Amino acid sequence: MSHQGYEEELRSERSYVAGLYTRIDAERARVKGKYGAALRGNGGTPMERDVEVRALAAEMKRLDVADNGLCFGRLDSLSGEHSYIGRIGLFDEKNEFEPLLLDWRAPAARAFYVATAASPEDTWRRRQFHTRGRRVLDFTDEVLGRPDGGERGDAALIAAVNAPRGDGMRDIVATIQAEQDQIIRLDHSGVLVIEGGPGTGKTVVALHRVAFLLYTQRERMERHGVLVVGPNPAFLDHIGRVLPSLGETNVVFMTTGDLVPGLRVTAEDTPEAARLKGSLKILDVLAAAVADCQRLPEDPLPIELSDVTVRIDAGTAEWARDEARGSGLPHNEARAVFRDIVTWALTERAIARIGRGWLTRDDLEAWEQLREDLLEELADHDMFTAALDEFWPILTPEGLLAQLYTSPERLVAAGAAPALWRADGDAWTVSDVPLLDELVDLLGRDKPVDQTAERESKDEAEYAAGVLDLMISREDLMDDEDHLLAQDMLYAEDLADRFRGRDTRELAERAAADRDWTYRHVVVDEAQELSEMDWRVLMRRCPGRSFTVVGDLAQRRSVAGATSWEAMMEPYVPGRWVYRSLSVNYRTPAEIMTVAAALLAEFAPGITPPESVRACGVRPWSRRVDEDEVDSAIGEFVRDEAGREGTSIVIGPPGVPGTVVASETKGLEFDAVLVVEPERILADGPRGAAELYVALTRATQRLGVLHQGPLPQALIGLAEIGTPAQAGDQRSA
Would the annotation count 199 as a binding residue? yes
By mean pLDDT, which of 359-363, 532-536, 624-628, 652-656 is the weakest?
359-363
Give percent above pLDDT 90 in the chain: 70
Q: Which long-range contacts does 346-351 make (Cβ < 8 Å, 24+ apart)? A: 346/303, 346/310, 346/312, 346/316, 346/374, 346/378, 346/384, 347/371, 347/374, 347/375, 347/378, 349/310, 350/305, 350/307, 350/308, 350/310, 350/374
Q: Sign of torsion, CA 459 464 470 473? A: negative
Tens of pLDDT along 468-493? 454 444 444 344 444 334 344 444 44
Query: Per-residue pLDDT for 119 more than 60?
Result: yes
* Residue 730: count of CB within 10 angstroms of its CB: 18
Q: Whole-model pTM?
A: 0.85
Would the annotation count 196 as a binding residue? yes
pLDDT interval class at 351 (50, 70, 90):
confident
Tens of pLDDT along 620-664? 999 999 999 999 999 999 999 998 999 999 999 999 999 999 999
The whole-number pLDDT of residue 504 equals 67
Would the annotation count 561 as a binding residue? no
Would the annotation count 330 as a binding residue? no
Would the annotation count 201 as a binding residue? yes
Tens of pLDDT along 47-69? 777 778 888 888 888 888 888 88
What is the rounded CA–CA span in Å between residue 696 and residue 689?
A: 11
Query: Per-residue pLDDT for 382 more than 90?
Result: yes
Give residues with Cβ within 8 angstroms of 52, minimum separation 6.
34, 38, 44
Strand 648-651 and strand 670-676: pairing? Answer: parallel
Tens of pLDDT along 410-462? 999 999 999 999 999 999 999 999 999 999 999 997 654 444 444 444 544 45
Nearest CA to 532 out of 136, 256, 226 is that of: 256
Contact 562, 553 (CB under 8 A): yes
